[in-house]
Amino acid sequence: MIGILYVFHGSQKAEKNQAAMDFINQLKIKLDPTVYQATAFLENHSNTIPNVAKEMIQNGVTKMIVVPVLLFAAKHALVDIPNELETVKEQYPDVQFKQTETFGSKSGSRQVLLERFQEVAAEYPDEQLVGILVAHGTKQTDEPQQVLTEIAAEIQQQVGFSIIPTSLKGPEDYLEDIKKQVSTDQKIVIVPFFLFDGHLITIMKNKLKEAFPKTDFILTRTLEFDSRILTDLEGIVKEAITCIQ
């Protein structure tokens, strides 16, 4: 039996974890009902990867597709998830495992991010705008920043004003990146490239107030579990199922 294990980071807010599971429930009904599907979290939830994976195997799963519901292939996807699965693989050596790519570079996320900037441009037609596209970021690999830079350039071409890519935990200080854009003749639009509004967004808001007490930023919504991301995830899962059969 093929099983799909969806892995989220996990939020300190229980309602966000529930929203994540509700989000995946919308995807489950789009797939073959004979495929066993379950959800696990890296942090802040009792549904850990080892616990859920073992339960799936005990229920007959022999081929497991692990889907990181994460924007980029950074530490969580490259290190944490494989480490969490290691004990399961040792205990069940006959089970086949396949981990998929992440979804942040796909078209659904790009469309949502573009709309966030377009909505602000429509609301402030007479203002000089500059955009800041903020992701989580990592210092361990360059790929997430490269993808972020590519997406920012793509959006910039379509909206007609500068889009600066930066990351909360990237190689550069995001506050310094924002500071370079602070002036009296332009409004700064910050679009958080996050699946939902969680703990890190709260920290960012507080740091912005502290660092720039006199600046009024336009802070948009996150991806907010947009349905277009489901389409991307569906494509990732179906491709993986084809490969593992």
Secondary structure letter of residue 198 according to DSSP: -
**Other beta carbons within 10 Å of 108:** 20
pLDDT bucket at 12, cuts 50 / 70 / 90: confident
- Say if residue 217's pLDDT is above 90: yes
DSSP labels, 105-157: TSHHHHHHHHHHHHHHHHH-TTS-EEEEEEE---SS-SHHHHHHHHHHHHHHH
Mean pLDDT of the chain: 93
pLDDT bucket at 141, cuts 50 / 70 / 90: confident
How far is the C-alpha of 176 from the C-alpha of 180, rounded, in Å? 6
Taken in order of first residue, the domains within the chain and their CATH numbers are: 2-102+226-244 (3.40.50.1400), 107-219 (3.40.50.1400)
- Taking the CA atoms of residue 29, residue 32, residue 36 and residue 37 in that order, the dihedral angle to the nearest 10 degrees is -40
pLDDT bucket at 127, cuts 50 / 70 / 90: very high
How far is the C-alpha of 27 from the C-alpha of 83, rounded, in Å? 26
The predicted pLDDT at position 132 comes to 97
The predicted pLDDT at position 236 comes to 97
Average pLDDT over residues 217-237: 96
The predicted pLDDT at position 162 comes to 96
User: What order of strands is seen across the sheet that includes strand 163-167?
Assistant: 163-167, 129-135, 187-192, 218-219
Percentage above 90 pLDDT, the chain: 82
**Which residue in the block uniquely carries the two structure tokens 């507080």?**
206
Q: What are phi and psi of 98, to 5 degrees?
A: -140, 120
Q: 186-197 as b/e, with b when 16 or more CB fall inside 10 Å?
A: ebbbbbbbbbbb
Distance of CA 68 to the CA centre of its chain: 9
- Say if residue 199's pLDDT is above 80: yes
- Say if residue 11's pLDDT is above 90: no
